[in-house]
Amino acid sequence: MLDVNDLDDAITRRVEPYLSSLSRTIMSAAHDDDDPDFLIYLALQYALMDGVAIPKDILDAIEIDLTDPGFTPGMLPESRKWLAENRARARPQ
């Protein structure tokens, strides 16, 4: 299982390269601000918009991260919804 501490790197290496150029450009703001919650939020959203299947181990780690009390509360409802939608089309590792 992917360690939650490695989640940002996994998203950067295994999800972002498959996103559209525009999505990657917008996600650069999360990298610039060093904001892992925003990175997760954007990755879940843009994967759906761009038709990118997020690997199951990354989705599992995101699910754990969303249970952290420190996760940005305003991003939780949409992140949980998008997580469920991404799970519906997840690809095996």
Q: Which pLDDT score, from 0 to 100, does residue 2 have?
A: 76
In a domain, 74, yes or no: yes
Residue 86: name the closest of 18, 4, 9 by CA: 18
Confidence bin at 4 (pLDDT 50/70/90) = low
**CA 22 to CA 47: how far, in whole Å?**
12
- Per the structure, how many domains does the chain have? 1
Query: Coil, helix or strand for 72?
Result: coil
In a domain, 83, yes or no: yes
Please work out, in degrees rounded to the nearest 5, the angle formed at the alpha carbon of residue 61 by the alpha carbons of 84 and 11.
Answer: 90
Q: Please say if the pLDDT value at position 11 is more than 80.
A: yes
In a domain, 92, yes or no: no
Tens digit of pLDDT for each residue in 40-69?
Answer: 999 999 999 999 999 999 999 999 999 999
Neighbours of 3 (CB within 10 A): 11
In a domain, 93, yes or no: no
Query: Coil, helix or strand for 55?
Result: strand
Domain of residue 14, residue span? 4-87
In a domain, 47, yes or no: yes
